Amino acid sequence: MTDSRTLPQPPAGGSPTVLVIGGGAAGNAVTILLRRAGIAVDLIEARPDWNATTGSGITLQGNALRVLRQLGVWERIAASGYPYGSLGVTAPDGTVLFVAEDIQTGGEDLPATLGMQRPQLQRILIDAVRASGARIRLGTTAESLEQDADGVSVRFSDGGAGRYDLVIAADGLGSATRAAIGITEKPEPTGMAIWRIAAPRPASVTRTDLAYGGPAYIAGYTPTSENTLYAYVVEACRDRSAIDPTSYAAEMRRLAQAYGGVWPEITAHITDPKKVNYTWFDRLLVEGSWHRGRVVLVGDAAHCCPPTIAQGAAMSLEDASVLAELLTSGREWDDALFQAYHDRRIPRVRTVVEASVRIGQWQLDGVRDADVAGLIGRTMTFLKERP
């Protein structure tokens, strides 16, 4: 790779060309925003189905919704998701112990929180990327990246090749691009794992409820539409290779059976092992610059955290928004710009990663008097500021 200090400016007065690697929340968002400014964007996505059918649910807080509104998709998100403004904490038998109001991190004109089916969110973003006029290649990865004095040459897995002024690595927590540019930090397991499933929404489920104190660390559910919710059980992580995927439904059902309230109704739908997802929680924060020359990281490629405060996608969307703002500001695309991007993102991302990891660690350590509500409140209040 060329030393970034020797790299040239983007073509003066010319139209730069950008490659976005990965079409998740971060890659889709940055593509839409760059296209809006007239920048040519190629987006490559490893999965032929662009992840349009996978996943159960996601919790989007106001600061994520603020970026989705900037992308022009808020009306569709609002029509598809389930907005709410509080969080319930219950005993394992379903007794509500207290209800906390959520902080409106996206401002007073957006809901504090919105639950959504993941495939719905992805399909809405895919439609916006397609409408943006970006060139899209599915089932494609970057096999090699070579920087020289004029830009980045990329060879693709489908045999094609391209030449770009900038490559944006939005290829998620296992980012091959991060490794290819010599950033050696990798996600580390936090010690927890989650079982997730989508199910019909019982009428009484109108917000996220989390049960503590049962056999799992957390059992929770979040409404994702008028008709659906996603339910999850968090436990200590186990050797993934030792869990037979055909037993996923039985495993999740076994854990969920310890919980009361609406859980028996939800548990009745945990029947198909293919619809149950088992995932470890990871932590990553790339400490130094998020770029090498003209290859820059966004989203989980640069940072990830356990979803204990449900902020991972929000941080990824914010990365895209801030990077696009800088790239379309008329400034030179040089080290100073990419450093400014890093400097703007790191305080927010660090706050989220550290708070998310700490909340999980308190549970792993059995700390009973931990100030979870205080930490969440301080973090969310900080996130109300614009990124």
Ligand X SMILES: Cc1cc2nc3c(=O)[nH]c(=O)nc-3n(C[C@H](O)[C@H](O)[C@H](O)COP(=O)(O)OP(=O)(O)OC[C@H]3O[C@@H](n4cnc5c(N)ncnc54)[C@H](O)[C@@H]3O)c2cc1C
Binding residues for ligand X, rule: CB under 6 A, are: 21-27, 44-47, 51, 58-59, 64, 141, 170-172, 176, 194, 279, 299-300, 304, 307, 310-314, 316
Please identify, using beta-carbon distances, which residue of 6 and 54 lies nearer to ligand X. 54
Nearest distance from C-beta of residue 10 to ligand X, angstroms: 23
Nearest distance from C-beta of residue 298 to ligand X, angstroms: 6
Nearest distance from C-beta of residue 15 to ligand X, angstroms: 24
Helix residue ranges, H only, the chain: 25-36, 62-70, 74-80, 118-132, 176-180, 248-256, 263-267, 312-327, 335-364, 372-383
The CA radius of gyration of the chain, in Å to the nearest whole number, is: 21
Please identify, using beta-carbon distances, which residue of 47 and 69 lies nearer to ligand X. 47
* Three-state secondary-structure class, residue 71: coil
Q: Which residues contact 179 (CB under 8 A, 6 or more apart)?
A: none
Please identify, using beta-carbon distances, which residue of 10 and 252 lies nearer to ligand X. 252
Please identify, using beta-carbon distances, which residue of 17 and 31 lies nearer to ligand X. 31
Exposed e or buried b per residue across 37-75, where buried means at least 16 C-beta atoms within 10 angstroms of its C-beta = eebbbbbbbbeeebbbeebbbbbbbbbbbbbbbbbebbe
Euclidean distance between CA atoms 230 and 208, whole angstroms: 10
Nearest distance from C-beta of residue 196 to ligand X, angstroms: 6
Please identify, using beta-carbon distances, which residue of 57 and 214 lies nearer to ligand X. 57
Nearest distance from C-beta of residue 335 to ligand X, angstroms: 23
Please identify, using beta-carbon distances, which residue of 137 and 254 lies nearer to ligand X. 137
Please identify, using beta-carbon distances, which residue of 194 and 337 lies nearer to ligand X. 194
Alpha carbons within 13 angstroms on the beta-carbon side of residue 182 total 12
Q: What is the DSSP string of 233-250?
A: EEEE---GGGS-GGGHHH
Nearest distance from C-beta of residue 349 to ligand X, angstroms: 11
Euclidean distance between CA atoms 64 and 48, whole angstroms: 26
CA–CA distance from 316 to each of 25, 99, 319, 372 (Å)? Answer: 7, 28, 5, 23
Nearest distance from C-beta of residue 25 to ligand X, angstroms: 4
Euclidean distance between CA atoms 168 and 178, whole angstroms: 10
